[in-house]
Amino acid sequence: MNARPASAVPSAAGFRYSLRGGAVEIANRLAAREDVDIAADLLAGSHLHAARSTETLRQWAAAAADLGHRMATDSGLDHDPSVPVTEEPGGLVGDQLVLARYLSRPPTVVLHPAAIAAAEAVVTAAGWATLFPAGTVRRAAIAHEVAHGLLDGPYRRRLRACAGPVLLRWGHRSWRGVVVGADEIAAHAYARIRLGLRRSPLLLAAAVTELVRPQPPTDPSRRTKES
Ligand SMILES: [Zn+2]
């Protein structure tokens, strides 16, 4: 049903990708899960958490999302800082799509339009136009990176405290470590609230991971010979 044949799509910035068939079925399966379970899956993807139970990962994911929500409603924060937004080609690291990056010195959000276009193609193929209306992917990517800036600044300590495992106890004091991946979950949760979305953009990120099949760049010299 609406299964789209995998066909290579040339992206605006030079990398090629195809979308897996069965996008709607895959999208429906993902959307049937709660955001917190998708977030727990993200944590489970790190070998650092291999020994943790699903319930522990779920608790950490929920705490990280809660932190993102609190950041998004913190009236003391500048939610629309004048961070320059630039665009660069690329957006493919290994076989992973990277929509945007946050550079701290100086604070800058770098968008990769080709990767954003690929994510928008996933929204269309999944039939998620109501979940992620036009323009949402770009705005969510910027909000996500702004959140990274906040997590790197005023919210750094709270990120550590919100979900980190206790590394050391001494009397009544304890020191916690940051859960790898918690910042991603918090940043997605922040973007969800700031944009007023029903679902976390983490759902879209999971769909992108499942549906987008990057293809190795073609060798221009070979293309010349073949043409
Ligand atoms: Zn991120």
- Determine the distance separating the centroid of ligand 1 and the alpha carbon of 144, expressed in angstroms: 6
- Determine the distance separating the centroid of ligand 1 and the alpha carbon of 77, expressed in angstroms: 19
- Determine the distance separating the centroid of ligand 1 and the alpha carbon of 208, expressed in angstroms: 14
Q: Which comes out higher in pLDDT, residue 160 or 181?
A: 181
Structure tokens at 23: 């996008």
- Determine the distance separating the centroid of ligand 1 and the alpha carbon of 196, expressed in angstroms: 19
Picking from 211, 46, 52, the residue whose alpha carbon sits closest to that of residue 128 is 211
Indicate the pTM of the whole model: 0.84
pLDDT above 90 (res 202): yes
Mapping DSSP to helix (H, G, I), strand (E, B) and coil, where does residue 175 land? strand
Strands (E), 20-165: 85-87, 92-93, 96-97, 100-104, 107-111
> Domain residues of the chain, as ranges?
8-226
Instruction: Decide the pairing of beta strands 100-104 and 96-97.
Output: unpaired
pLDDT bracket for residue 208 (50, 70, 90): very high
- Determine the distance separating the centroid of ligand 1 and the alpha carbon of 225, expressed in angstroms: 41
pLDDT of residue 127: 97
Tens of pLDDT, residues 113-136: 999 999 999 999 999 999 999 999
CA angle 153, 157, 174 (to 5 degrees): 165
pLDDT of residue 174: 57
pLDDT bracket for residue 104 (50, 70, 90): confident
CA atoms within 13 A on the CB side of 122: 31
When the pLDDT of each residue in the chain is averaged and rounded to a whole number, the result is 85
Structure tokens at 98: 């990277």
pLDDT bracket for residue 4 (50, 70, 90): very low
pLDDT above 90 (res 137): yes
